A and B are shown apart, each in its own frame.
Chain A
Amino acid sequence: MTLPDFALARPDTLEEALALLGDDQVPYCGGTELLLAMKVGLQRPETLVDVKRVPELRGVRSSHGELVIGGASTHDDLSRDALVREVLPLLAEVEAHVGNARVRVQGSIGGNLCFAEPKSDVATTLIALDASVTLQSSSGRRTLLVRDFIVGPYYADKEPGELLIDVRIPLVATRRGAYVKFQVTERPTVGVAVVQDTETGACRVVVGAVGEIPVWRDWASVADIDVEELSSAVDPVEDLTGSERYKRHLTAVFVRRALRDLERSS
Chain B
Amino acid sequence: MSDPSAREDVIGQSVIRRDLLEKVTGAAEYTVDITMPGALHAKIVRSDRAHARILDIDAREALTLPGVVSVITSDDLRGLYPRFGHIIADHCILAIDKVRYYGEPVALVLAETVHEAADAAELVRVTYEDLAAVLDADQALAPGAPLVHEQRYASSDDDSFRLLTGGKGKVATEAAAELSNVAHQVTLEWGDADAALREADIVVESEVHFPMLYAYAMEPYNAVASYSADGLTVISTAQHPYMVRDDLARIFDLPLSRVRVRAPYLGGGYGSKSYTKVEPLAAVGSWVARRPVKLVLDVEESIYTTRADPADVKITSGFTKDGRILVRVIDMVMDSGAYADNSPLVLAKALNRSFGPYRVPTLRATGRSLYTNTAPASSYRGFGAPQGALAGETNLDQAADRLGITSADIRRLNLVDRDEEILPGKRGLDADIKADLEMVLASLNRDAKDVAGYGVGFACTASDAGAYPVSTAQVRVQTDGSVTVLSGSTEMGQGSRSALAQIASHELGIDMSRVQVVQSDTAITPYERTTGASRTTTLVGLALQRACEDARKRVREMAAEIMACDGDEVTDVPGGVSTPGQAFLSYGDVIKAWFGAAAGEVTGVGLVRREGVTEKMPPFWEIGMVGVAVQVDSDTGVVTVDQLVTVADVGFAINPQAVEAQDLGAATQGLGMALYEELVYDGAQLANANVVDYRVPRATDVPAKLDLMIAQRRDGVGPYGAKGAGEGTLNPVGAAVAAAVARATGKWPDRLPLTPERVWTLISDSGSAKE
Residues of A that sit less than 8 Å from B by CB: 1-2, 4-5, 182, 184-187, 240-243, 246, 249-250, 253
Nearest residue, chain B, Cβ from A249: B760
Residues of A within 8 A of B115 (CB): 2, 4-5
Listed A/B pairs (9) with beta-carbon separation below 8 Å:
A2-B114, A2-B118, A4-B119, A184-B638, A184-B756, A241-B757, A242-B756, A243-B757, A253-B636
A2 to B300, CA, bound (A): 13
Nearest residue, chain B, Cβ from A39: B298
Q: Is the interface of A mostly helix, strand, loop or mixed?
A: loop
Q: Is the CB of A250 within 8 A of B636?
A: yes
Query: How many whole Å from B107's CB to the nearest CB in chain A?
Result: 17
Q: Is the CB of A240 within 8 A of B636?
A: no
Query: How many whole Å from A37's CB to the nearest CB in chain B?
Result: 14
A182 to B636, CA, bound (A): 9
A254 to B687, CA, bound (A): 27
Residues of B within 8 A of A184 (CB): 638, 676, 695, 755-756
Q: Is the CB of A185 within 8 A of B755?
A: no
Q: Is the CB of A253 within 8 A of B118?
A: no
A266 to B269, CA, bound (A): 50
A4 to B122, CA, bound (A): 12
Residues of B within 8 A of A246 (CB): 757, 760-761
A146 to B295, CA, bound (A): 46
Q: Is the CB of B688 within 8 A of A240?
A: yes
Query: How many whole Å from B771's CB to the nearest CB in chain A?
Result: 10
Q: Is the CB of B680 within 8 A of A240?
A: yes
With A2-B118, A182-B756, A184-B676 given, can you name 12 additional A-B contacts, CB distance below 8 Å?
A1-B298, A1-B300, A4-B119, A184-B695, A184-B756, A185-B695, A240-B680, A240-B693, A241-B757, A242-B756, A246-B757, A249-B760
Residues of A within 8 A of B692 (CB): 185-187
Does B611 interact with chain A (Cβ within 8 Å)? Answer: no
A2 to B301, CA, bound (A): 13
Nearest residue, chain A, Cβ from B118: A2
Per-residue A-contact encoding for B536-552, CB less than 8 Å = 1, 0 else:
00000000000000000
Most buried by B among A240, A250, A253: A240
Query: How many whole Å from A201's CB to the nearest CB in chain B?
Result: 27
Residues of B674-721 whose CB lies within 8 A of A: 676, 680, 687-688, 692-693, 695
Nearest residue, chain A, Cβ from B764: A249
Residues of B within 8 A of A249 (CB): 760
Residues of A within 8 A of B118 (CB): 2
A241 to B753, CA, bound (A): 12
Does B635 interact with chain A (Cβ within 8 Å)? Answer: yes
Query: How many whole Å from A187's CB to the nearest CB in chain B?
Result: 8
Query: How many whole Å from B116's CB to the nearest CB in chain A?
Result: 10
Residues of A within 8 A of B114 (CB): 2
A186 to B691, CA, bound (A): 9
Query: How many whole Å from A217's CB to the nearest CB in chain B?
Result: 22
A250 to B759, CA, bound (A): 13
Query: How many whole Å from B292's CB to the nearest CB in chain A?
Result: 20
Q: Is the CB of B755 within 8 A of A253?
A: no
Query: How many whole Å from B13's CB to the nearest CB in chain A?
Result: 35
Query: How many whole Å from A252's CB to the nearest CB in chain B?
Result: 9
In the complex with contacts A2-B115, A184-B695, A240-B687, A253-B757 CB distance below 8 A = no
Nearest residue, chain B, Cβ from A247: B757
**Shortest 6 CB-CB contacts between residues of A and residues of B:** A1-B298, A2-B118, A246-B757, A253-B635, A186-B692, A242-B757
Nearest residue, chain B, Cβ from A187: B692
Nearest residue, chain A, Cβ from B298: A1
Residues of A within 8 A of B755 (CB): 184
Most buried by B among A5, A246, A250: A246
Query: How many whole Å from B681's CB to the nearest CB in chain A?
Result: 12
Query: How many whole Å from B684's CB to the nearest CB in chain A?
Result: 17
A240 to B114, CA, bound (A): 33
Residues of B within 8 A of A185 (CB): 692-693, 695
A240 to B211, CA, bound (A): 14
Residues of A within 8 A of B760 (CB): 246, 249
Residues of B within 8 A of A1 (CB): 298, 300
Residues of B within 8 A of A240 (CB): 680, 687-688, 693
Per-residue A-contact encoding for B71-92, CB less than 8 Å = 1, 0 else:
0000000000000000000000
Residues of A within 8 A of B638 (CB): 184
Residues of A within 8 A of B687 (CB): 240
Per-residue A-contact encoding for B732-764, CB less than 8 Å = 1, 0 else:
000000000000000000000001110011000
Residues of A within 8 A of B300 (CB): 1
A262 to B119, CA, bound (A): 53
Residues of A within 8 A of B119 (CB): 4
Nearest residue, chain A, Cβ from B675: A184
Most buried by B among A2, A182, A187, A250: A2
